[in-house]
Amino acid sequence: MNGNGTGVPAGGFPHLHVASAYSTHYGVTLPEALAGQARAQGSSFLALTDRDGLYGAVKHLRACVAEGIRAGLGADLAVHDDDRLPLGRVVVLAHGGTSGRGYAALCRAVSAAHQTVGAGAGSEPSIGRSELAELAGLRTLTVLLGPTSDVGEAIERRATKEAGARLTAWQRSMPAASVCLEIVCHLAEPGSPGSVTPATRMLALAEQSGLPAVLTNAVRYGEPEDAVTADLADAARTLTPLAELEQPQTNGQAWLKPAGAMRQVARMVVDAGLHDDGALARLLRDTELLADRCTLDPQADIGLGTPRMPEARVIGVTGDPLAELWKRGRSGVEERYAASGRPAVESAHTRLEYEMATVEHLGFASYFLTVSRVADIVRGMGVRIQARGSGVGSVLNYALHTSSVEPIANGLLWERFLSPERQTLPDIDLDVESARRHDIYRTLFQTFGSDRVSLMSMTNAYRGRGAVRDAGLALGMDPGQVSAIAKQMWRFNARDFRRALEEKPELEPLAAEVRASQQLDQLVDLTARLDRLPRHISVHPCGVILSDASLLDRTPVQASGMGLPMSQFDKHDMDPMGLIKLDILGVRMQSAMAHAVEEHRRLTGESIDLDRIPLDDEPTYELIRSTRTLGIFQLESPGQMELVGKLQPEVFNDLTVEISLFRPGPMKNNMPLLYLQARHGEVMPDYIHPRFEPILRETRGVVIFHEQVMRLFDELTGCGLGKADVFRRHLGKPEQLPLIEAYVREQALTRGFPPTVIDRIWTVLAGFGSFGFAKAHGAAFALPTYQSAWLKTHHPAVFLAGLLTHDPGMWPKDLLVAEARVLGVPVLPLDVQHSVLDYRVEDLPPGYAALVRTEPEPTEPEPTEPVPSGPAGPRRGIRLALPELSGSTAAERARIVRHQPFSSLQDFRDRVRPRRSSFEALARVGALDSFIGYDRERRHELLAHIQSLRGTAVTVHDDQLAFEVDLPVPRYTGDRFTAVTSLELRGRTQTELELRDLSLAVSGHQLARFYPLFAELGVTPASALADLPGGTEVLLAGVRRATNTPPMRGGRRVVFVSLDDGTGPVANVVFFHDAQERIGGPVFQTRHLLVRGRTRRSGAKGVSVTGDMLWDLTDAARLVRQRHSTERAAEKAAGDEARAEALAAELAAVAPANVHRLWSVRSA
Residues contributing to the site for another protein (CB under 8 A): 186-190, 195-196, 224-225, 227-228, 231, 242-243, 248-253, 260-261, 263-264, 267-268, 271-272, 474-475, 518, 521-522, 525-526, 529
Using DSSP bridges, classify how beta strands 385-388 and 580-587 pair: parallel, antiparallel or unpaired: unpaired
CA distance 19 to 49: 5
Q: Of 78, 59, 75, 89, which Cα lies nearest the Cα of 17?
A: 75
Nearer CB in complex with another protein: 253/982 = 253
Smallest gap from Cβ 596 to another protein, in A, equals 58
Q: What's the longest Cα–Cα distance across the chain?
A: 114
Nearer CB in complex with another protein: 267/491 = 267
- Cα of 834 vs its chain's centroid, Å: 35
Q: How far is CA 477 from CA 157, 472, 517, in A?
A: 36, 5, 12
Nearer CB in complex with another protein: 519/889 = 519
Nearer CB in complex with another protein: 496/617 = 496
Nearer CB in complex with another protein: 255/675 = 255
Smallest gap from Cβ 90 to another protein, in A, equals 25
DSSP state of 999: S
Smallest gap from Cβ 1054 to another protein, in A, equals 40
Could you tell me the end-to-end alpha-carbon distance of the chain, in angstroms, rounded to an integer?
A: 102
Nearer CB in complex with another protein: 189/746 = 189
CA distance 235 to 475: 9
Smallest gap from Cβ 261 to another protein, in A, equals 7
Residue 595's identity, in one-letter code, is H
Nearer CB in complex with another protein: 243/849 = 243
Smallest gap from Cβ 250 to another protein, in A, equals 6
Smallest gap from Cβ 295 to another protein, in A, equals 27
Nearer CB in complex with another protein: 195/590 = 195
Please tell me whether residue 920 adopts helix, strand or coil conformation: helix
Which are the contacts of 921, defined by CB distance < 8 A and separation ≥ 6?
885, 886, 887, 888, 997
Nearer CB in complex with another protein: 187/1100 = 187
Answer whether 710's CB lies under 8 Å from 740's CB: no
Smallest gap from Cβ 110 to another protein, in A, equals 31
Nearer CB in complex with another protein: 10/739 = 10
Phi, psi of 278 (to 5 degrees): 75, 10
User: Virtual CA dihedral for 1011, 1012, 1015, 1021, nearest 10 degrees?
Assistant: 0
Residue 689's identity, in one-letter code, is H
Smallest gap from Cβ 483 to another protein, in A, equals 20
Q: Of 891, 622, 670, 884, which Cα lies nearest the Cα of 771?
A: 670
Answer whether 1011's CB lies under 8 Å from 1160's CB: yes
Measure the CA angle with vertex 209, ends 204 and 215; round to 5°. 50
Nearer CB in complex with another protein: 529/1156 = 529
Which are the contacts of 1033, defined by CB distance < 8 A and separation ≥ 6?
1092, 1093, 1094, 1149, 1150, 1151, 1154
Smallest gap from Cβ 271 to another protein, in A, equals 4
Question: Helix 196-209 vs helix 160-173: angle between axes, to the nearest 10 degrees?
Answer: 50
Nearer CB in complex with another protein: 28/145 = 28
CB atoms near residue 65 (< 10 Å): 17
Smallest gap from Cβ 13 to another protein, in A, equals 13
CA distance 786 to 784: 5
Beta bridge partners, 1105, equal: 1069, 1095
Phi, psi of 145 (to 5 degrees): -100, 105
Nearer CB in complex with another protein: 532/915 = 532
Smallest gap from Cβ 28 to another protein, in A, equals 12
Nearer CB in complex with another protein: 260/694 = 260
| Polymer length of the chain | 1164
Count of CA atoms in the C-beta half-sphere (13 A) of 547: 26
Nearer CB in complex with another protein: 242/281 = 242
User: Virtual CA dihedral for 937, 938, 939, 944, nearest 10 degrees?
Assistant: 130
Smallest gap from Cβ 214 to another protein, in A, equals 20
Answer whether 921's CB lies under 8 Å from 887's CB: yes
Answer whether 1097's CB lies under 8 Å from 1106's CB: no
Indicate left, alpha or beta for 466 from its phi (over 0: left) and psi (-120 to 50: alpha).
Answer: alpha
Answer whether 89's CB lies under 8 Å from 78's CB: yes
Smallest gap from Cβ 478 to another protein, in A, equals 15
Write the DSSP string, 308-360.
-PPPGGGGT--S-HHHHHHHHHHHHHHHHHGGG-HHHHHHHHHHHHHHHHHHH
Smallest gap from Cβ 207 to another protein, in A, equals 19
Nearer CB in complex with another protein: 267/916 = 267
Smallest gap from Cβ 200 to another protein, in A, equals 11
Nearer CB in complex with another protein: 169/268 = 268
Smallest gap from Cβ 44 to another protein, in A, equals 21
Smallest gap from Cβ 218 to another protein, in A, equals 14
CA distance 371 to 2: 55
Please tell me whether residue 597 adopts helix, strand or coil conformation: helix
Smallest gap from Cβ 9 to another protein, in A, equals 15
Answer whether 73's CB lies under 8 Å from 63's CB: no
CB atoms near residue 1009 (< 10 Å): 16
Nearer CB in complex with another protein: 263/663 = 263
